[in-house]
Structure 1
Amino acid sequence: MPIKLFSPLILLLSPTVLQGADELINRKFEDATGWFVNAIFAEIPITDSVGIPWVLMVLLFGAGYFTVYFKGINFGSFATALRIVKGDYDDLEDKLPIEVSESVFTDEGDQPDTIRVEGHQGEVTHFQALTAALSATVGLGNIAGVAIALSLGGPGATFWMVLVGFLGMASKFVECTLGVVYREIDENGTVYGGPMYYLSTGLKKKGLAKLGKILAMVFAIMCIGGSFGGGNMFQINQAFQLFEHVTGGDTSFIHGKGWLFGLFMSVLVAIVIIGGIKKIAKVTDKIVPAMVVMYVLAVVGILIINFEIVPAAFRSILEGAFDPKGIAGGVIGVMIQGFKRAAFSNEAGIGSASIAHSAVKTKFAASEGLVALLEPFIDTVVVCTMTALVLIVTGQIQVGTEISDAQGVVLTANALASGVWWFPYLLALAVILFAFSSMISWSYYGYQAWSFLFGRGKSMEYLYKSIFCLFVVVGAAAGLDSVTDFSDAMIFAMLVPNMIGLFILLPKVKEELVKYMKAIG
């Protein structure tokens, strides 16, 4: 492993440097970037007391439109998606004759047959692509985010969370199909894909080359910023806070030593990300199932202990969804809380997941789009609902109280502790795994955007990965609220160029879907 990957981390070994950097960065970001954060999360008034972020309205409109356009593909093709992940249609890849196709492009636009003959159709399996993308979405939003939604909107917010999860499946299908259609594969078989490529190449084929290039560059810039913040610093910061909490809080052996926790995690991250998507996929296809099963089993354990209360919890979700008795601004307020947390959790419509899915081994772009629609179901419908139920049955939610992400994680830990004393330790391990898997996947997203802007040379690759590992240490050591707010805003700013491209390229997605459905009979 190259030593220079770690060289910037040497500057961060001093806690004094970290604390000084924390104060400086917070002050500078508050002064220079507050307008950007406010612009992205600006709310459109719905009632006198309730507003909805405009980015959320765009995501919801897109998800609803895609659901109608593809005639409820998120429901009707669910079983087909499961069969693809199982490998039931893998033989189609071998039987398909080699022919000129628009599914794969070389860097220079050469004949795609060359790549087909060499067998370079991708780097990872359908299952590995799914777990790599899931590892970036299943995380702290499913734990802290759900607690925040229920604290503000009551149990009824869960219903609207689930609804958005179902709708988001259609958005994931569209963007991940396009990710495969317009990906590029170099002479070594390395795949480069995502919105940067379907915006630049796809819109160019529509006669919109200049627009596509601008949108692709905007997306790439936002993606890089999001990878350092929401996909890195936020994840490691929250993981450290929970680890410190379950090991004694102020009396913990790690108290005040976030930099040490971050340094340890940065080394683990570096070991994985140096190997690219293949190495990342080999890690996530083991971590993601393990961490989801671990978390769900702990939650199920609590629900079994409190089984007599579970029916009442479901009733409170349904009643609260339509009759919230003025909580958080009435029905509209409860809906918005559920919508917010679901959209922010599964990232459907943001475009990030298509970067991971573009690396799949397939000759049918729509096959991976169908696999991708499983993501919001697992992330939001299953995991978020489980979290909501355990918070409700253990009485941890105080409706009408605004809480932070850190407090949301602690609430879930307390809910698990109410059943079995050592469950919070299990949660801490799960959260660390959630954070680790999110970081390695977002490092891949960020590098793909970085290479699109600055080239694919090794020096550029090592520079990005060094910076990424540096931010792991900074994120664990400091309370960089303004930086993470800014980075989260960058993640949701990605939806603007992405959504424009999705609507323009919808006919291509439909064409790919028809081709694949015909192939599987």
Structure 2
Amino acid sequence: MKRILLSILTFIIPFINFAQEEKVLTFSEQIDVTFSKYTSWFVDLIFYEIPFSEEFQIPWVLIVLIGGATYFTVYFKFINFSGFFTAINVVRGKYEDIEKHGAKELYGEDGIAAVAVDGDIPDTIRDESADGEVSHFQALTAALSATVGLGNIAGVAVALSIGGPGATFWMILAGLLGMASKFAECTLGVKYRDVGPDGTVYGGPMYYLKKGLAEKNMAGLGKVLAVLFAIFVIGGSFGGGNMFQANQAAAQFVELTGLTGGNTGLYFGLAMAVLVAVVIIGGIKRIASVTEKIVPFMAGIYVLAALVILAVNYVHIGAAFGLIFEGAFSGLGIAGGLIGVMIQGIRRGAFSNEAGVGSAAIAHSAVRTKYPASEGIVALLEPFVDTVVICTMTALVIIITNFDAGFLEYGTEITEGVELTATAFDTVIPNFSIVLTIAVILFAFSTMISWSYYGMQGWVYLFGKGKISDLVYKLLFLVFVVVGASISLGSVIDFSDAMIFAMVVPNIIGVLLLTPKVRKELIKYNNAIKLKKDAIEDGVDEFEV
């Protein structure tokens, strides 16, 4: 407990010091200036752009993300594509029996059923069911809820304004490559998770960095990387995963209702904090039960509306794809030319789905399965849904509606991405901006509850498992919900974003070193699926879970 109090004091000391300075600033400005003063060096370091020429620079963290994703794609023999339909079957529950009890236990080493003649399984098998707290679908939606949101709605619009339609091509490519990164890190998340006596799962990069690297005689390195990741994920959960979401949701609420009173943000933040509290107190099971409803519902409405717009403007679809491919390889009229277009698209794709960041491995580690690779395969669907489907839909809607409306000049950066996307949708579906505002608020809410779980896992790793430790973190998280909705936090958000992408460093190092472990798990799961298929082909009845 002393360690927790010391950490809290360390966090608030800068505010106390600044309050003593004789400057007439608002509270928001005080926080903003204080954070900028103490953390700007860290932000500059994480987002430092390597100057390849006078015309373009590439953030080094982007190189690490895409470089790692490309390596994993090749190393795992394009699992992004070969494992896609298997992932669909896993989410549908086709292999739930072997994941719960084990393929050999159910179907035998040589394809001979290990079940009784009447179809009942032995009690010993039932007693050895898989650890975990949530289903594959719940784990997937919990992880998606942390990535699907403002990046898909506002971020894509900003990327198009800077990089033009061609950025869409590179955004899709980043999403496809990121599928391999998600597969690798989420497989490790399940393999090296801890399961408490009460069945509570503790997982994520902290655990596979520590335990996995210890197996490779790199225990010292593993411990250091695990602690760094835990610190970064806590910082990211308070900022980008919480305050930024609350801030943007409050702004959209004000825009929708027209309530501009001085305390509107405060009241909205308090209401949001209560709703978040109701969910996060129940842990990952409650979080997953909420996200499995919110994410498919809102994503479904969003994609359906996009499809309606594409159907109404079907004559422009061919021209839109023409612009995308032409712009992807020419970069005409865009700052930095081809490279400038490439950077904007890849940045949006990589930053949107967070593949390689390691955050999703925390949610996926809570799944019920005996085979870690089963969840890794499910996880590869995440960048596909987030970037290849939803981000691409946003891009197509903006490009196609812009043909006639002309509300966007490519190559001229905008700052309000939500408003531009809303304009695009409103050209075909009047007042859809209202639905879009509600979607932003719901996506922000689902992002907050998922990131609360991510941050708490890092907190528990550093400060220990227990009810008091959990309660301290959750109370702090709820306080930051109110703070984020109430005030402007420019430098705080920059810092928290830097914390999120700082997670890339320890995570990618660990995953690269542990790729042979991931490959063994993939082979083991593929063999289990083959064993079941062979047994069924030989006339053995499929076991019903």
TM-score by length of 1: 0.90
Query: In the alignment, residue 67 of structure 1 is paired with which amino acid?
Result: T
User: Kindly tell me: are residues 301 and 244 of structure 1, through their superposed partners in 2, closer, same or farther at Cα, counting changes over 3 Å?
Assistant: farther
Q: Give the distance between the partners of 1:303 and 1:233, measured in 2 at CA.
A: 34
Q: Give the distance between the partners of 1:172 and 1:391, measured in 2 at CA.
A: 28
Aligned-pair CA distance for 1:439: 0.4
Note if 1:370 corresponds to 2:380: no
Query: In the alignment, residue 70 of structure 2 is paired with which amino acid?
Result: G
Q: What SS does the corresponding residue of 1:437 show, helix, strand or coil?
A: helix
Tell me if the contact between 1:242 and 1:409 (Cα under 8 Å) persists in the aligned partners.
Answer: no
- Residue in 2 that maps onto 1:483: 492
Query: In the alignment, residue 268 of structure 1 is paired with which amino acid?
Result: L
Counterpart among 343, 349, 359 of residue 342 in structure 1 = 349
Q: Give the distance between the partners of 1:115 and 1:206, measured in 2 at CA.
A: 32
- Residue in 2 that maps onto 1:39: 45
The total of aligned residue pairs comes to: 486
- Residue in 2 that maps onto 1:101: none
Tell me if the contact between 1:84 and 1:90 (Cα under 8 Å) persists in the aligned partners.
Answer: yes
Deviation digits for residues 34-86 of structure 1, max 9, x if unmatched? Answer: 01000000001123121010000000100000000011110111011100000
User: Kindly tell me: are residues 246 and 394 of structure 1, through their superposed partners in 2, closer, same or farther at Cα, counting changes over 3 Å?
Assistant: farther
Counterpart among 185, 196, 221 of residue 195 in structure 2 = 185
Note if 1:416 corresponds to 2:425: yes
Tell me if the contact between 1:222 and 1:494 (Cα under 8 Å) persists in the aligned partners.
Answer: yes
Tell me if the contact between 2:306 and 2:393 (Cα under 8 Å) persists in the aligned partners.
Answer: yes
Counterpart among 153, 156, 160 of residue 146 in structure 1 = 156
- Residue in 1 that maps onto 2:322: 315
Deviation digits for residues 191-237 of structure 1, max 9, x if unmatched? Answer: 00000000011111111111100000000000000001110111121
Tell me if the contact between 2:164 and 2:334 (Cα under 8 Å) persists in the aligned partners.
Answer: yes
Note if 1:429 corresponds to 2:435: no
- Residue in 2 that maps onto 1:520: 529
Q: Give the distance between the partners of 2:527 and 2:219, measured in 1 at CA.
A: 32
Q: Give the distance between the partners of 2:102 and 2:463, measured in 1 at CA.
A: 38
- Residue in 2 that maps onto 1:81: 87
Query: In the alignment, residue 423 of structure 1 is paired with which amino acid?
Result: F
User: Kindly tell me: are residues 365 and 162 of structure 1, through their superposed partners in 2, closer, same or farther at Cα, counting changes over 3 Å?
Assistant: same
Tell me if the contact between 2:189 and 2:362 (Cα under 8 Å) persists in the aligned partners.
Answer: yes
Gapped regions of structure 2 (runs ≥ 5) = 1-7, 9-18, 20-24, 106-123, 531-545
Deviation digits for residues 134-164 of structure 1, max 9, x if unmatched? Answer: 0001111111110110010000000000000
Counterpart among 401, 412, 416 of residue 401 in structure 1 = 412
Q: Give the distance between the partners of 2:485 and 2:26, measured in 1 at CA.
A: 14
Gapped regions of structure 1 (runs ≥ 5) = 1-7, 9-16, 99-113
Aligned-pair CA distance for 1:306: 2.3
Q: Give the distance between the partners of 1:411 and 1:95, measured in 2 at CA.
A: 51
Tell me if the contact between 2:101 and 2:129 (Cα under 8 Å) persists in the aligned partners.
Answer: no
Query: In the alignment, residue 495 of structure 1 is paired with which amino acid?
Result: V
| CA RMSD of superposed structures (Å) | 1.9
Q: How does 1:99-248 map to 2 (within 5 A)?
A: 117=127, 119=129, 121-248=131-258
Q: Work out the percentage of aligned pairs sharing the same amino acid.
A: 63
Q: What SS does the corresponding residue of 1:44 show, helix, strand or coil?
A: strand
Counterpart among 439, 449, 452 of residue 448 in structure 2 = 439
Deviation digits for residues 93-137 of structure 1, max 9, x if unmatched? Answer: 334468xxxxxxxxxxxxxxx999464610000010000000001
Query: In the alignment, residue 69 of structure 2 is paired with which amino acid?
Result: A
User: Kindly tell me: are residues 134 and 115 of structure 1, through their superposed partners in 2, closer, same or farther at Cα, counting changes over 3 Å?
Assistant: farther
Q: Give the distance between the partners of 1:116 and 1:210, measured in 2 at CA.
A: 39
Aligned-pair CA distance for 1:309: 2.0
Query: In the alignment, residue 79 of structure 1 is paired with which amino acid?
Result: F
Q: Give the distance between the partners of 1:447 and 1:115, measured in 2 at CA.
A: 33
Aligned-pair CA distance for 1:476: 1.1
TM-score by length of 2: 0.86
Q: What SS does the corresponding residue of 1:325 show, helix, strand or coil?
A: coil
Q: What SS does the corresponding residue of 1:401 show, helix, strand or coil?
A: coil
- Residue in 1 that maps onto 2:311: 304
Aligned-pair CA distance for 1:470: 0.9
Query: In the alignment, residue 189 of structure 1 is paired with which amino acid?
Result: G
- Residue in 1 that maps onto 2:75: 69
